[in-house]
Amino acid sequence: MKYETQKFNIPELKGMSQKSIDEHYALYEGYVKHTNLILEEIEKGAGEGADAYKYSEMRRRLSFEFDGMRNHEFYFRGLEGGARAPDANSNLYEAISENYGSFDAWKTQFIGLAKTRGVGWAMLYFDKDNGGLISSWVDEQHFGHLTGLSPILGLDMWEHAFVGDYWPSGKGQYIEDFFENLNWGVIEANFKKAL
How do residues 105-123 score in pLDDT, each as one tens digit? 999 999 999 999 999 999 9
Q: What percent of the chain has pLDDT over 70?
A: 97
Q: Is the pLDDT of residue 152 over 70?
A: yes
Round to whole Å and give the CA distance between 138 and 36. 23
- Tell whether 97 and 190 lie within a shared domain: yes
- Tell whether 119 and 141 lie within a shared domain: yes
- Tell whether 143 and 177 lie within a shared domain: yes
In CATH, what number is assigned to the domain containing residue 149?
A: 3.55.40.20
Of the two residues 42 and 35, the one the predictor is more confident about is 35
Q: Is the pLDDT of residue 42 over 70?
A: yes
User: Which residues constitute the domain of residue 33?
Assistant: 18-77
Computed on alpha carbons and rounded to an integer, the radius of gyration of the chain in Å comes to: 18
- Tell whether 108 and 185 lie within a shared domain: yes
Quickly state the pLDDT bin for 52 (edges 50, 70, 90): confident
- Tell whether 178 and 110 lie within a shared domain: yes
Structural domains in the chain (count): 2
Q: With respect to residue 13, please indicate whether it lies within any of the assigned structural domains.
A: no
Question: What's the predicted TM-score (pTM) here?
Answer: 0.94
- Tell whether 27 and 109 lie within a shared domain: no
pLDDT, position 101: 98
Closest Cα to residue 97, out of 167, 49, 89, 47? 89
Round to whole Å and give the CA distance between 88 and 30. 37
- Tell whether 28 and 69 lie within a shared domain: yes
Q: What is the DSSP letter of 134?
A: E
